[in-house]
Chain A
Amino acid sequence: MAIADIRQRPGFLLAAAILLHVILISAQVNTASGLPILQVVTFGSFAEVQRATMATLGGVRGMWSGYVALQQVQQENNALKHELQSLQVSLQQERAEAQRTDNLRQLLELRERAKLDTVAAEVIAGAASPDFRTVTIDKGSSEDLATDMAVISPAGVVGRVILPSRRASKVQLLIDRNAAAGALIERTRVQGVVIGIGDGTLKMQYVPGTADVKTGDLVVTSGIDGIYPKGFVIGTVDRTDRGDGAYHEIVVRPAVDFSRLEEVLIVRTPPASRGLIEEPK
């Protein structure tokens, strides 16, 4: 049957599409481990598209602002104003440079303090679907990144690498619904598990109802999950409730502002050889 004929029968086409999806979903759900090749290839290819999109957007933005600025200069024809504008642009550039330097300095301090083998990366894209909390970073397996490596920032834990391609990696943020990390309350050393609930906050589970937990307590990684190094800040206790069960219901406010992630560090040190992070002096 010709393709044109098939398109005249949308019912058949729908049935075929649904069947294809069901087979695809079943294949993945039944698989115990490993990443689908299609997913890796698509992600790797599209990471390049994302990179190109970002570069194009940057170029267009640069051309646009340059053109508008030039027109203003021609229209005003005022040497003093021109000088002032140039100075303002320079000042903004200096500020932006200073901000970036500050970010990088913080990353460097964190790297030295943590004594871990880390690599810095830049966030180049967000999640493709609003239902998932992921970002794409510009470092991949060519920088020895692998699945389940922890991703951190000066403010605290960011997430973990879930899909490395050659020149980019997908990072699952800690606030994703599927994310979890071993955690403890720093003040009382009570252990639990922090999970993402998808709305930007975190929940700490399995903390016994008899444990001493207060609003404002610092929550840090416990290191028992084998992914996140021990002692990194996750967030602070925002709300705690005994509820009906034997466990506390604890809402944790993340330390990291996930809407402003620009640079991150990926921990390449294997879990067995990690030490505890040093407290800042």
Chain B
Amino acid sequence: MRTAVALAAILVAIALQTTLATMMFRGGTAIDLVLIVVVYVSIKSGPSTGLLAGTVAGLIQDALSSGILGIGGLAKTVVGFLSGVLGTQFIVTAPLPRFLLLLVATALHAAIFMGLYTLLNLRQFPAPYPSIVGQAFGNAFVGVVGFQLIEWFPGFVDRRRAGRFLKR
């Protein structure tokens, strides 16, 4: 069940990424919604589910992009695994640790992704640091807000139901 939910979340993130990408082309930071979902699944479900989520999400993203199939998958697999390990070893429920985790995850993802492309001499990334920093902060901000909303919403609905019940 948990795997199915994770898979559905990844598919929704990819669909949103492909539909929202046209609106964020120029100007704003390019946020990687799929990476955010992989990190969330990893800290909630552990390293095994995290790395599987990273593999599936990365491979689908690679297949839909014009790059080499597997490079994004490898980057997201490693990020999913390490996020899962950190999620089991440390308490990452507060916004600040999650913000830091998303910053590090984005930087690691970019390092593996760009590193492999550069190593294989397939693409060049002139002056990549400003875009990595921008994407890291963008992912961290959107991720933390998204995580809080996801976890706040079921409790909010329960409280509303309980409130109505007590009024009766």
**Which residues in window 103-145 of A have CB below 8 A to B?**
123, 125-136
Majority-rule SS of B interface residues: helix
A29 touches B68 (CB 8 A): yes
Q: Cα distance A164–B117 when bound, in Å?
A: 24
Asked if B17 contacts A18 (CB within 8 A), the reply is no
B52 at interface by CB-CB < 8 Å: yes
User: CA A162 – CA B66 in complex, angstroms?
Assistant: 8
- Stretch from A19-27, A82-90, A149-157, A219-227 forming part of the interface with B: A19-27
| Min CB gap A159→B, angstroms | 10
The residue from A20, A25, A176, A197 contacting B66, defined by CB atoms under 8 A apart: A176
The reply on B168 being an interface residue by CB < 8 A is no
- Residues in B with CB closer than 8 Å to A10 are 46-48, 51, 81, 84-85
CA distance A134 to B103 in the complex (A): 26
Cβ of B143 under 8 Å from chain A: no
Chain B interface residue count, Cβ-Cβ cutoff 8 angstroms: 55
Judged by a CB distance under 8 angstroms, whether B11 is at the interface is yes
Q: Is the CB of A54 within 8 A of B19?
A: yes
| Interface residues on chain A, number (Cβ under 8 Å) | 54
Nearest chain B CB to A36 CB, angstrom units: 6
**Other-chain contact of A177, B31, B46, B120, B123 (Cβ < 8 Å):** B123
B112 CB → nearest A CB, Å: 10
Given the known interface contacts A25-B74, A38-B69, the answer about A258 and B25 at a Cβ–Cβ threshold of 8 Å is yes
* A240: Cβ under 8 A from any B Cβ: no
Is the CB of B97 closer than 8 A to any CB of chain A?
Answer: no
Q: How far is the CB of A232 from chain B (nearest CB, A)?
A: 21
B60 within 8 A of A: yes
Chain A positions 3-62 with a Cβ under 8 Å from a chain B Cβ: 6-8, 10, 13-14, 17-18, 20-22, 24-25, 28-29, 36, 38-39, 42-43, 46, 49-50, 53-54, 57
CA distance A57 to B19 in the complex (A): 10
Whole-angstrom distance between the alpha carbons of A258 and B27 in the complex? Answer: 11
Instruction: Give Cα distance in the complex from A198 to B128, angstroms.
Output: 10
Nearest-neighbour CB distance to chain B for A185, whole angstroms, equals 23
Chain B residues with CB under 8 Å of A127's CB are 18, 21, 64-65
Contacts of B62 in A (CB 8 A): 129
